[in-house]
Amino acid sequence: MIAMMFCVSCTKDAPLVKGERTDEVDEGIQTTDEQTDVGDGAHDVQNNETNVDDGILDDTEETPTTLTDYDTSTLSNKKHSWYFNKGTNHEQPRIDTSLKNVVDKYDAIYLESPDEKTIYLTFDEGYENGYTGQILDTLKEKNVKAVFFITGPYLSKNEDLVRRMVEEGHTVGNHTVNHPSMPDVDDEKLEKELLDLDRKFYELFGQSMKYVRPPMGEFSERTVALSKNLGYTSVFWSFAYRDWETNNQKGTDYAKETVLNAIHPGEVMLLHAVSVDNANALGDIIDEARSMGYEFGELQSLER
């Protein structure tokens, strides 16, 4: 199968107190064509939307209390950038051991079983470029569910699109309010980046966010552990390409071929919804992936 992807108290319908939930390197410098770009840079949040207090949580409101499972003060804050070495002939990519050692102990998602031809589709939504509606139309037509990782400004400016995501059965994930590099902010500010967005999302839709994607793919052991303490599963990826460069789109065929040539079992696919090429190629990508024996799955089906 193939899949696409987006605190309150421990119960799903309780008021938002995320901290009470019980669910639970080497720098990624790209030096050769065999190492994929992290696929997520500051390109996610543009048009002066980066590092802007979006007013999602009034400063007079109480920030939820965290249940500390991991003592983050004892953990390394060395910044890592997510990357991997591309596979060939539809083989899985190779994830650097130094990165795996950091994220595996906190149950991060980035690559699933090599024995199942399942793809998990995810989109990053830093700002709206006019194509998310088309993407949602295609997903509905093809009966595929995805995860959409949104920021604070995205939610504030595109509530109707986020409502469509929810109502059409997709998952909405946390990409922080202001899209900072997570290791660059302290625990208190990072909690606020995550919980303010989660609270607003809960107020609007009655759901909590379960997944978080670190902005720009930058993380440390401290930030992954803190996210886990707050009830989030960190989601990275095993495929991405430079699709966020809106002034350097290379055409629908290029997008389709790039995605399909790298398709592999257990893939966590990262696409940016700002890309017109992705929007136009998505239907063909789904159809051809299925013709190759793949199906799309949902992250919620993965036990963590």
Which residues are marked as active site? 124, 272
What is the spatial distance between Cα 59 and Cα 100, in angstroms, rounded to a whole number? Answer: 37
Q: Are strands 80-81 and 295-296 parallel, antiparallel or unpaired?
A: unpaired
The alpha-helical segments, DSSP class H, found in the chain are: 97-103, 132-142, 152-157, 159-167, 187-205, 221-229, 252-261, 276-291
C-alpha radius of gyration, the chain, whole number: 18
CA pair distance 232, 174, nearest whole angstrom: 9
Question: Max CA-CA distance within the chain?
Answer: 55
For the record, the structure tokens of 41 come out as: 């840079």
Q: Is 115 helix (H, G, I), strand (E, B) or coil?
A: coil
State the residue for tokens 């980066």.
50
Query: What type of residue is 188?
Result: E
| Contacts of range 154-158, beta carbons closer than 8 Å, 24 or more positions apart | 154/125, 154/126, 154/127, 154/128, 155/56, 155/197, 155/200, 155/201, 155/204, 156/54, 156/55, 156/56, 157/127, 157/128, 158/125, 158/128, 158/132
Residue 154 one-letter amino acid = Y
The whole-angstrom separation of Cα 236 and Cα 249 is: 23
* Interior angle at CA 133, CA 131 and CA 138, nearest 5: 95
